[in-house]
Amino acid sequence: EEKIEIAMKHLVPKQLKEHGLKSSQLKFSRKAIAKIVNGYTRESGVRNLERNIGAVVRGAAKSVAMEEKYDVTVTEDTVVKMLKAEIFDDELYQGNDIAGVVTGLAWTQVGGEILFVESSLSKGKGGLTISGQLGDVMKESAVAALSYLKSNAERLDIDSRAFQQYDLHIHVPAGAVPKDGPSAGITMFTSLASIFTQRKVKAKTAMTGEITLRGKVLPVGGIKEKILAAKRSGIKEIILSIKNKRDIDEIEERYVKGLVFHFVETVDDVLRIALLREKVKDPLHFSFTDQRVSMLN
């Protein structure tokens, strides 16, 4: 939104002047600017935004000079026609029909993004695989989430034999992009709780927060950018640490309008909100040997 305001008030008038056009000869809709911001110019500044606006203005200036017909109002379609295929594509919320798939929120140098944490189980001997080009801190979050789940298995109605007789794979898609940081902790925990219980995750819900071995949810950064990413992606509810409430309170109303925020202190609070009692459509039916192995071994 801030970049859109900068573009409408400063960059567009500047480019019109540099190319000899009047404001009556070319107008940019807000949606057109948003299209350039989100689809072509993921960056911390506005250099590429101005460059792409300039490319659209040059196209119109050429049409004016050659007395050709052109669209006076630049729309999203005009942007695509002038700048060709989008460079960036927003991830969209993908539903809650598969156990172990949970939507998280991430911060990057060029803004917020949603990410998906996927967990799957297969018959085995309790192995753990973590993939998706994750950094050490993110891997540690996965291990912490699994440790807490194991220590609270009975309370969560999870048969402890599942941890020894099934192999667990945790994956965060877009493997070509390095990922790190602790903010996916509660997302990973919810993913694990879902896969081991085969319960659905609440629809159109995303989350961000660090997890401790005691099940506490700690605050994380980049909240405004994450909120904007959630809105772009169709998310309706967001789970955050209670200590992040002050960050939400500082964000302008227009950015948070239409979103429901849940502020939590523990991962138990997270599950009460995010994990439904309903099972997924085609749940995994666990099969175990008769022997029960102590989780303390």
- Half-sphere exposure of residue 285, counting CA atoms within 13 Å on the CB side? 1
| Percent of the chain scoring above 90 in pLDDT | 67
Supply the pLDDT for residue 113. 84
Average pLDDT, integer, range 248-272: 95
Residue in 3, 200, 224, 226 annotated catalytic: 226
Which of 221, 202, 210, 225 is closest to 264 using CA atoms?
210
Supply the pLDDT for residue 272. 97
Domains of the chain, first to last: 2-83 (1.10.8.60), 101-279 (3.30.230.10)
Could you tell me if 27 and 73 are in contact, meaning their C-beta atoms sit under 8 angstroms apart?
Answer: yes
DSSP labels for 66-120? Answer: TT----SEE-HHHHHHHH-S-S--------S-STTEEEEEEEETTEEEEEEEEEE
Is residue 273 pLDDT above 70, yes or no?
yes
Residue in 119, 120, 141, 183 annotated catalytic: 183
Is residue 34 pLDDT above 60, yes or no?
yes
Q: Tens digit of pLDDT for each residue in 172-216?
A: 987 445 677 899 999 999 999 999 999 999 999 999 999 999 999
Q: Tens digit of pLDDT for each residue in 86-137?
A: 666 555 556 667 899 999 998 876 678 889 999 999 999 999 999 988 889 9
Average pLDDT, integer, range 147-163: 95
- Whether residue 226 lies in the annotated active site: yes
Quickly count: other Cβ atoms within 10 Å of residue 127's Cβ: 10
Q: Does the pTM of the predicted model rise above 0.85?
A: no
